[in-house]
Structure 1
């Protein structure tokens, strides 16, 4: 994992609190639904990123990485968002071999992140 990504928490509580405030979510139901949607889409998002990186398809990889980065930012998945930023730079530079070496770490980070987010979903 990149040193910068390791310094970022898996989930930024402040972002989830702001999300609830921005949504006017007094009972937490909308935040839980938003988190649940993010968690449910993780496997699909990872599959798109990894497939495009391994296929060396820069356009599809960028689309998939940006989707992951933006959605992670919205739900407070700080470390995963930072890893997506790093992958974005690698793909932009056509460094597909370097990007491919990060896919296992990205998957592990995503699994840890979704597990932590599930705990918010249950709260």
Structure 2
């Protein structure tokens, strides 16, 4: 299932959100997250705690970043939109949220082409995708070990 299909399912009410601990029926599809991304980050930083802290910060800031992107797109402020979107793309990749990263990249591409109406439309879909991304990342963080540090 690709991001567009997942978004259509969310609009139709077939995909449930996730708050707190993930439970059966509320987990995001497994393709939301590249579980190896946080393991690589923990190895690069030589600290699983730091990698988890970065992921936690990402989760805390996600809603604000999406609101900033939406506001910039609504104002047709390309520079502000690109600033927040590029940061969101990189941080999403860092924590392994591949579906959200790909969706952000589509918005970035529309902004680069000067298609701000399309960018705004694609940007609005990020909010729905963020629910599944949060669920997937929280579920992954509940696991006891991200990596095997040497």
Under a length normalisation based on structure 2, what TM-score does the superposition of the two structures give? Answer: 0.72
8 Å contact 1:32–1:120 — kept in the other structure? no
Unaligned runs of 5+ residues in structure 2 are 6-29, 144-150
**Partners of 1:104 and 1:93 in 2: CA distance:** 18
Q: Give the C-alpha shift of residue 2 in structure 1.
A: 4.9
**Partners of 2:107 and 2:124 in 1: CA distance:** 12
Which residues in structure 2 correspond to 1:43-82 (within 5 Å)? Answer: 43-82=63-102
Select the structure that is richer in helix: 1
Runs of 4+ in structure 1 deviating by more than 4 angstroms, as ranges, are none
1:9 counterpart (31, 35, 38)? 31
Under a length normalisation based on structure 1, what TM-score does the superposition of the two structures give? Answer: 0.86
Aligned positions, number: 117
**Partners of 1:48 and 1:71 in 2: CA distance:** 15
RMSD: 1.7
Q: Give the C-alpha shift of residue 60 in structure 1.
A: 0.4
CA deviation string 1:61-103 (max 9, x = no partner): 1101101111111111111111111111101111111112123
CA deviation string 1:19-77 (max 9, x = no partner): 1111212xx32222111000000011101111111111111011011011111111111
Which residues in structure 2 correspond to 1:1-123 (within 5 Å)? Answer: 1-2=3-4, 9-25=31-47, 28-123=48-143
Larger radius of gyration: 2
Q: Give the C-alpha shift of residue 116 in structure 1.
A: 1.2
